[in-house]
A and B are shown apart, each in its own frame.
Chain A
């Protein structure tokens, strides 16, 4: 090879190598940014929905990790290490940079703009917050989160008439938004219109029972002089949230008016036992938690929410950077932990999923749902022993929770547990929460124990409670067929041969059947 040709070759090779390197780098970038995993369904993360359609317009902006402290962990081993070197002023500036980045990435996105409004609110810049929420509404006049923010702000200023008006608009945008409903109820109460509060809350709480809702309803009934209904509402509030101090106060006052002195005294005693300082104005909250803590918590909440916007736009790395930063600022931020657990589970990274779920379980030791999730995780990994342990642990911490009984029963049913125990667990689930799903589970437990008459009774109940369910009706027919077969095996055999027999095998009936449209019939099937 001549000197010239080598030189040409060298030059060509360098160019090619360069191009290759660029191509690889680009490919790696694409892989990391997009191909590394698939996005999670947004609705499962509970992301604001108003600006979701605009998320497609993603500007080309540098990765978020570039503007956050270097200590932010990205991919790799899960860890939650509190960053103890955060100063408040620096944190404010950091949050401002993140919000700026978010808006640069999603300039047309209402959710992103709403995060900016929340940042202003977090800083006490209420005028700027209001202005930003109004900008959200210019983009989407039914954007409920901006409406709720504005309504909340009006209420905090004591402008309850305005709060009422905006909250009504918010409810028109999203009738299921409880926050808007609660603001509306509170605004009406504060204007001395308890009768309207009853209208706003009573029916809605049947569909979506909330402790705050029942507490406000209790106040409304009390003001109307209907002390019995007030008492009942306060009772429901305390049932939903056993630590609801103010609801106990209302309960005591109602009982006192009803001359139920002993119940009044007990409720008042309970109220006094709380002495909840955090309920008493910002001055006391500042006294129980340092300002730095409160600022960290606020920033972490913003990051957790902003992370979901990045995830929705498939900027997974940015999302995780934010969630990890949120956890550095506030290791107890449940939203960031839940998001991380969710994403890891979707990726099939079980060990890390369990890490986040376990952390959540530590934060909320009385909440059995994390143990149940861990149990299902182990079950998916075929670690039966660990799974059973987790399900039993959930039962230990919430012995009055029907879901815990049902989950353990299902697990034992699927993995050959003790027949008697399964029946007992399913019976307890039914007792605590007599819904169709639990009756069906009990039926499965009876079938597992070869008690078809009892299974028939349970399935009758399930069908009665969920008449639209094809599955329950199908199982019910199967059980009837089985009973007929037991009474007259020959006739049953004949029926089976004529093709009218059961569609599935004789194994245990799967529990928790899905609901289906109600126009089903055996003929159609």
Chain B
């Protein structure tokens, strides 16, 4: 009897202890780092300024924080001071965007490739805003109210507000690619959307609103069967205004819709079942209109299954060349500019058309950057499952070498479909790292192939001295993320703390905002260009930064990664360098600015021919601090 009571008491005590443990875990044991330190508890989503379609709490054109810089106050010390830590802070950011690809079970190929996103400063307040593209119901399902693209204004401290209705950029077309550029040189960034069907151009009115000017500007590319892809603004003829290069994926119509079978199950058809399309080149006439010069430019004779694209002066001859990666045959295109807007396709000769093994990859996204600090722009191209994301090293401005295997740049990519990517210095050590998003395009792949998965985590490959990459994903917090289905990925310093943060658009899932807590002892410099004779955004201008024995180069690009846009404000990780000895800006058209002895850890605004300013600081507002 005694023992029975003892057992009952013991059981009761055990239950109570377990319950108490749960209570302690949820209330007392929660780690402080789960809540982003930069966000006061009083401003959690759902409270002030965070509601969907709510009025922004910060007046247009003004910074919220007012004081620069304000990095890392109150953050927990990094466990590993060498590596950055990425933390998913989406739920605290006010971003509620959830992507739709319009899927209804019909398995239209268009659904597999949507969508990209853009990070850019639309209102000139120095804070980077986020524009998400969205799909919409397709075919017979396309009735009723359609979801739209969403635009989030950066309120500071990694809080965002949905301003889609008031900014009037909520296109309801099927969005695939996006590029940002000030095509009319009025000082405000405009938006170009590459859709399934007609494309869209939004002109920024400078007052927080946009006006759709597609028809009057002539950049509609109105073929209803065209599945768009990446797009880029570029000044191909260096005449001071931005032209437009638009890659296309393939021809799709509901009548020609097909699906495939695999192991007895219905899956999305591959691109080989559809006709390819060439890219389109629009020349800016300088009066707000564009002219289609695809044939004169030589580009129209190269049909392909274009996906991502990026512009860059890979041969260092002072004009802007174009890389378009294709999803399968005929391989990637590298269009070399003859300085006047005529392009010669040289991918096979240069070694960038195929992987080094000779395989034609199903290429997805592409970025351009100098990973080994040799002063030449390299290309990094993501790809389909069973292929490596490929790093092409620029040998001499003419030839490239696939150094994926030699450098480890393909780690983590082989059994995944890889998408948005960047050659970006995420830890400010002075060497540009690689980052890419993953996620299969066959939504039932988990039932068909155990070697891969539909949902996957992004991959961060840390650059070690420009020679080798190390998969540091798990150590950087990416292993703790919920697996998702990435498409577009954008990199920008969203909290102005001197490192790149990351935004990932996930197919059929909520977007993801990753705050970067990079090692604080490392230095950085960000440079925003403002053209006066050349295009206002400085697109195509090359910047060379020299500090001690270190030299970095970069170029302002519009449209990159997987059908996305990011990084208009150039970011240089400086490692331990506390000062930059020299900055050289080579503007398109021949202009050149040189600035010397610049302290690290600041954002510079360099105005063509007029020197530099400490951007968005109090002094910048009153006219700058030109040395």
A275 within 8 A of B: yes
Residues of A close to B348: CB separation below 8 A: 268, 272
Contact B329 A280 (CB under 8 A): yes
Q: In the complex, how many angstroms separate the beta carbon of A259 from the nearest chain B beta carbon?
A: 12
Q: Identify which of A46-54, A248-256, A365-373 touches chain B.
A: A248-256
Contact A219 B272 (CB under 8 A): no
Residues of B close to A192: CB separation below 8 A: 405-408, 468
B287 within 8 A of A: no
Q: In the complex, how many angstroms separate the beta carbon of A305 from the nearest chain B beta carbon?
A: 19
Contact B329 A245 (CB under 8 A): no
B79 within 8 A of A: no
Residues of B close to A88: CB separation below 8 A: 261, 263-264
Residues of A close to B360: CB separation below 8 A: 279-280
- A291 to B613, alpha carbons, bound, how many Å? 62
Residues of A close to B269: CB separation below 8 A: 287
Given contacts A88-B263, A286-B261, contact A158 B415 (CB under 8 A): yes
Residues of B close to A272: CB separation below 8 A: 348
Q: In the complex, how many angstroms separate the beta carbon of A6 from the nearest chain B beta carbon?
A: 66
Contact B356 A222 (CB under 8 A): yes
Contact A249 B362 (CB under 8 A): no
Contact A281 B261 (CB under 8 A): no
Residues of A close to B273: CB separation below 8 A: 287
Q: In the complex, how many angstroms separate the beta carbon of B607 from the nearest chain A beta carbon?
A: 44
Q: In the complex, how many angstroms separate the beta carbon of A191 from the nearest chain B beta carbon?
A: 8
Residue in B closest to A92 when the chains form the complex, CB atoms: B264
Residues of A close to B411: CB separation below 8 A: 158
Residue from the list A245, A277, A281, A292 in contact with B358, Cβ < 8 A: A245
- A271 to B405, alpha carbons, bound, how many Å? 22
- A129 to B385, alpha carbons, bound, how many Å? 20
Contact B272 A284 (CB under 8 A): yes
Contact B451 A271 (CB under 8 A): no
Chain A residues within CB distance 8 Å of chain B: 88-89, 92, 123-127, 129, 153, 156-158, 160, 189-192, 194, 219, 222-223, 245-250, 253, 256, 268, 271-272, 275, 277, 279-284, 286-288, 290-292, 294-295
B3 within 8 A of A: no
B43 within 8 A of A: no
Residue-wise, chain B 434-471 has the 8 Å CB interface mask toward A (1 for contact) of 00000000000001111110000000000000001000
Residue in B closest to A120 when the chains form the complex, CB atoms: B450
- A281 to B411, alpha carbons, bound, how many Å? 19
B96 within 8 A of A: no
Contact A291 B264 (CB under 8 A): yes
Most buried by B among A158, A248, A275, A292: A158
B357 within 8 A of A: yes
**Restricting to B271-297, which residues have a CB under 8 Å from any CB of A?**
271-273
Contact A219 B264 (CB under 8 A): no
Residue in A closest to B269 when the chains form the complex, CB atoms: A287
- A495 to B49, alpha carbons, bound, how many Å? 118
Given contacts A158-B413, A158-B415, contact A286 B262 (CB under 8 A): yes
Residue from the list B270, B359, B388 in contact with A286, Cβ < 8 A: B270
Contact A279 B415 (CB under 8 A): no
Contacts beyond the supplied A158-B416, A280-B329: 12 A-B pairs with Cβ under 8 Å: A156-B451, A158-B411, A158-B412, A191-B408, A192-B406, A249-B354, A256-B399, A283-B271, A283-B384, A286-B270, A288-B272, A295-B263
Contact B415 A157 (CB under 8 A): yes
Most buried by B among A92, A190, A282: A282
- A268 to B331, alpha carbons, bound, how many Å? 13
Residues of A close to B448: CB separation below 8 A: 124
Residues of B close to A126: CB separation below 8 A: 449-451
Q: In the complex, how many angstroms separate the beta carbon of B271 from the nearest chain A beta carbon?
A: 8
22 A-B contacts (beta carbon < 8 Å) = A124-B447, A127-B450, A156-B386, A157-B452, A158-B413, A158-B415, A189-B405, A190-B405, A192-B468, A223-B405, A247-B358, A249-B358, A279-B359, A280-B362, A281-B328, A281-B362, A281-B385, A283-B328, A283-B384, A284-B270, A287-B269, A288-B272
Residue-wise, chain B 74-113 has the 8 Å CB interface mask toward A (1 for contact) of 0000000000000000000000000000000000000000
- A92 to B261, alpha carbons, bound, how many Å? 14
Contact B264 A295 (CB under 8 A): yes
- A132 to B269, alpha carbons, bound, how many Å? 32
Given contacts A156-B386, A291-B262, contact A277 B272 (CB under 8 A): yes
B351 within 8 A of A: yes
Contact B359 A246 (CB under 8 A): yes
Q: In the complex, how many angstroms separate the beta carbon of B316 from the nearest chain A beta carbon?
A: 21
* Pairs of residues from A and B, 3 with the lowest C-beta to C-beta distance, nearest first: A249-B358, A126-B450, A246-B358
Contact A280 B406 (CB under 8 A): no
B414 within 8 A of A: yes
Contact B354 A290 (CB under 8 A): no
Residues of B close to A282: CB separation below 8 A: 262, 385-386
Given contacts A156-B386, A157-B451, A277-B272, contact A123 B263 (CB under 8 A): yes
Most buried by A among B263, B269, B329, B448: B263
Given contacts A156-B386, A290-B261, contact A219 B449 (CB under 8 A): no
Contact B264 A248 (CB under 8 A): no
Q: In the complex, how many angstroms separate the beta carbon of B252 from the nearest chain A beta carbon?
A: 15
Q: In the complex, how many angstroms separate the beta carbon of B441 from the nearest chain A beta carbon?
A: 9
Residues of B close to A157: CB separation below 8 A: 414-415, 451-452
Contact B449 A124 (CB under 8 A): yes
Residue from the list B329, B358, B451 in contact with A248, Cβ < 8 A: B358
**Restricting to B340-374, which residues have a CB under 8 Å from any CB of A?**
348, 351, 354, 356-360, 362
Given contacts A92-B264, A286-B270, contact A277 B359 (CB under 8 A): no
Given contacts A192-B407, A292-B261, contact A283 B362 (CB under 8 A): yes
Contact A219 B357 (CB under 8 A): yes
Contact B414 A158 (CB under 8 A): yes
Q: In the complex, how many angstroms separate the beta carbon of B266 from the nearest chain A beta carbon?
A: 9
Q: In the complex, how many angstroms separate the beta carbon of A262 from the nearest chain B beta carbon?
A: 14
Contact A275 B263 (CB under 8 A): no
Q: In the complex, how many angstroms separate the beta carbon of A294 from the nearest chain B beta carbon?
A: 8
Residue in A closest to B452 when the chains form the complex, CB atoms: A157
- A458 to B610, alpha carbons, bound, how many Å? 89
Residues of B close to A247: CB separation below 8 A: 358
- A291 to B261, alpha carbons, bound, how many Å? 5
Contact A280 B328 (CB under 8 A): yes
- A250 to B384, alpha carbons, bound, how many Å? 21
Residues of A close to B413: CB separation below 8 A: 158
Residue from the list B263, B328, B362 in contact with A291, Cβ < 8 A: B263
Q: In the complex, how many angstroms separate the beta carbon of B43 from the nearest chain A beta carbon?
A: 42
Residues of A close to B211: CB separation below 8 A: none
B387 within 8 A of A: yes
Contact B263 A287 (CB under 8 A): no
- A219 to B404, alpha carbons, bound, how many Å? 12
Contact B384 A253 (CB under 8 A): no
- A281 to B450, alpha carbons, bound, how many Å? 16
Most buried by A among B262, B269, B399: B262
Residues of A close to B384: CB separation below 8 A: 281, 283
Contact A281 B449 (CB under 8 A): no
Residues of B close to A287: CB separation below 8 A: 260, 269-270, 272-273
Residue from the list A190, A279, A281, A291 in contact with B414, Cβ < 8 A: A190
Residue-wise, chain B 531-542 has the 8 Å CB interface mask toward A (1 for contact) of 000000000000
Q: In the complex, how many angstroms separate the beta carbon of B23 from the nearest chain A beta carbon?
A: 38
Residues of A close to B405: CB separation below 8 A: 189-192, 194, 223
Residues of B close to A277: CB separation below 8 A: 272, 329
- A160 to B264, alpha carbons, bound, how many Å? 30
Most buried by B among A129, A194, A286, A292: A286
Residues of A close to B414: CB separation below 8 A: 157-158, 160, 190
Q: In the complex, how many angstroms separate the beta carbon of A183 from the nearest chain B beta carbon?
A: 14
Contact B357 A124 (CB under 8 A): no
Q: In the complex, how many angstroms separate the beta carbon of B382 from the nearest chain A beta carbon?
A: 14
- A192 to B404, alpha carbons, bound, how many Å? 8
- A5 to B399, alpha carbons, bound, how many Å? 107
Residue-wise, chain B 545-564 has the 8 Å CB interface mask toward A (1 for contact) of 00000000000000000000
Most buried by B among A247, A279, A280: A280
